[in-house]
């Protein structure tokens, strides 16, 4: 009877850990990607802005909180569509509605707006496998895509 009780307690703890892992791992992963990220132009390598990634109602969003080049801070997104049209780029939510995909360990099914041209792309983001201070941001249309790496602001 004593052995059965010990095995029962052990199995109960394993089950609780398993359930906790299932319910809390998306939140832990999202906390790793939330925070401030420096956007880097993939063509020039120049840092352009700081984007704050945050969670709201289980989805991720990213807002431009600072344009780094002072002379461009008052720029307006004249080419944007809908509610973003003619809004200041500083303060603009450019990442929207990203959901965690546990199987691929990334956030996907959202959109990203390129304030340079106003175009909206499907997007997925994930932490770099070798360096968690790098965030891969891939905007795509069908099979065509472009990936940028953003750097964590500490």
- At 74-92, the pLDDT tens digits run 999 999 999 999 999 999 9
Residue 30: pLDDT above 50?
Answer: no
Q: Which residues pair with 107 in a beta bridge?
A: 100, 125
Give the separation between CA 71 and CA 91, rounded to whole angstroms.
Answer: 16
What ranges do the domains of the chain cover? 2-152
Task: Copy the structure tokens of residue 99.
Answer: 């959901």
Given a contact cutoff of 8 angstroms between Cβ atoms, the answer to whether 112 and 121 are in contact is yes
In words, the CATH class of domain 2-152 is: mainly beta
pLDDT of residue 154: 87
Global pTM value:
0.79
Confidence of residue 17 (pLDDT cuts 50, 70, 90): very low
- At 99-130, the pLDDT tens digits run 999 888 999 999 999 999 999 999 999 999 99
Q: Which residues pair with 144 in a beta bridge?
A: 141
Given a contact cutoff of 8 angstroms between Cβ atoms, the answer to whether 25 and 102 are in contact is yes
């Amino acid at each position: 009877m004593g052995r059965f009780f010990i095995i029962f307690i052990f199995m109960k703890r394993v089950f609780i850990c398993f359930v906790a892992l299932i319910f809390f791992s998306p939140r832990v992963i999202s906390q790793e990607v939330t925070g401030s990220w420096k956007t880097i132009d993939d063509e020039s390598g120049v840092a352009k802005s700081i984007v704050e990634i945050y969670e709201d109602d289980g989805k991720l969003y990213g807002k431009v909180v600072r344009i780094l080049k002072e002379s461009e801070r008052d720029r307006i997104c004249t080419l944007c569509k809908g509610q973003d049209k003619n809004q200041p780029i500083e303060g603009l939510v450019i990442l929207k509605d990203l959901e965690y995909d546990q199987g691929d360990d990334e956030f996907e099914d959202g959109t990203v707006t390129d304030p340079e041209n106003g175009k909206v792309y499907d997007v997925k983001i994930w932490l770099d496998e070798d360096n968690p201070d790098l965030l891969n941001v891939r905007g795509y249309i069908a099979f065509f895509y472009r990936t940028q790496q953003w750097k964590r602001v500490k």
